[in-house]
Amino acid sequence: MGAQERTQKEKLILESAIKLFMEKGFHATKMDDVAKGAKISKGLTYFYYKNKEDLYMAVTRKAFEGLKDVFREVFRSKGKNGMQMLVDLVQKYLDYSLQNRMYYDAILNFLGVLSLYNDENTRQKIDPLILESVHFQKLLDIHHDCGKFGIQMVSQGIKDGSIRPELQPEITFYTIWSMLIGYERLSGPVNYENKEIKIHIDNWKPGFIKLMQDMLKGTIQATKPNIVQGSLF
C-alpha cells in the first residue's frame, strides 16, 4: 500500500468523523461509529489516528484551514482598500462560522487550548494527548497565519487612509477578531420575556458591522437618531 492509499484511508476516517460530529457532536460520537462509517474495523482507526483527541485535532485542522482560506481569499482580492477588506472579512468570517457550526466549535475549542498553551503556568493543564497530536502543531501555524493576514489588512487600511492612522494594527485586528468570536456565541434568536422582539443574527449583523466600521473610521457621520425606538429597556 502506497502513501496515496494510506492518505485515502485517513481521509475516509476523517470524513466519517466529520459527518458524525456534525450530526451528533464530538462526545456522542463513538469510535465504533466512526469506524463503521468508514467501513473499517475500530482497531484500524487507531492505526491512522493515535486516539480520539488526535482525530478531533485533525478535524479542527480542517476547520481552521477553511477559515484560513477565508482570510487569504479576502486578502488576495484586488481593488479593495483596507477597510473594505475588513468589512468583507467580517461578512465572510461570520458566514463561515454560522454555516459550519461544528467546525467553529472545534476552532473555538482550539483557541481555548491555545490560550492555556501560550501561558507556561497553565500549559500543564492541557490534555497531553492534544499536545502529542501532529495536527496541534499545524494548528499553531494556521492560527498564526490568520493573525498575520488580518493585521496586514489593518496596516493596509492605515496606509491607504481608509482606517484612522493612530490605531495599532495588532491591537485593532485582535479586537475585531474578538468581536467575531463572540458574535457566533451570542447569535441566534434570544427571547426577551413576553415581548416578541428577538435579537437575531439576521437583524443584528448589519448593526454589528456598522459598529465595527465606526470604530475604525476617523469620523462618524451620524445617521438619524434612533433612541428608544425598538429598544426594550
Q: Which is nearer to a copy of itself, 84 or 109 (CB)?
A: 109
Q: Which is nearer to a copy of itself, 32 or 207 (CB)?
A: 207
According to CB under 8 A, which residues from 18 to 47 bind a copy of itself? 23-25, 27-28
Which one of 108, 131, 132, 160 is in contact with a copy of itself (CB under 8 A)?
A: 108
Which ranges of 77-168 would DSSP assign to H, the alpha helix?
A: 82-99, 101-117, 128-132, 134-159
Which one of 30, 41, 73, 218 is in contact with a copy of itself (CB under 8 A)?
A: 218
CB of 62 to a copy of itself, least distance (A): 19
**Residues making contact with DNA (CB under 7 A):** 1-2, 6, 9, 29-32, 40-44, 46-47, 50-53, 129
| Separation between Cα atoms, residue 178 and residue 215, nearest integer Å | 14
Which one of 69, 125, 137, 161 is in contact with a copy of itself (CB under 8 A)?
A: 125
* Contact in structure between 64 and 138 (CB atoms under 8 Å): no
| Separation between Cα atoms, residue 201 and residue 162, nearest integer Å | 27
Q: Which stretch binds a copy of itself (CB under 8 A): 3-11, 70-78, 131-139, 213-221?
A: 213-221
Which one of 8, 77, 118, 137 is in contact with a copy of itself (CB under 8 A)?
A: 118
Q: What is the DSSP letter of 27?
A: T
3-state secondary structure of 79: coil
Q: Which stretch binds a copy of itself (CB under 8 A): 5-13, 61-69, 71-79, 179-187?
A: 179-187
Q: Which stretch binds a copy of itself (CB under 8 A): 32-40, 55-63, 74-82, 221-229?
A: 221-229
CB of 40 to DNA, least distance (A): 4
Q: Which is nearer to DNA, 13 or 107 (CB)?
A: 13
- 197 phi and psi, to 5 degrees? -70, 135
CB of 137 to DNA, least distance (A): 19
CA distances, 29 to each of 38, 55, 219 (Å):
13, 12, 51
CB of 2 to a copy of itself, least distance (A): 36
Residue 176's nearest CA partner among 89, 112, 95 is: 89
Q: Which is nearer to DNA, 129 or 180 (CB)?
A: 129
CA distances, 165 to each of 119, 145, 176, 191 (Å):
32, 24, 16, 40
* Amino acid at position 119, single letter: D
Neighbouring residues of 34: CB distance < 8 A, sequence distance ≥ 6:
13, 16, 17, 20, 45, 55
> In the structure grid, which three cell numbers stand for residue 71, read together?
482570510
The answer to the question of residue 194 lying near a copy of itself (CB under 8 A) is no
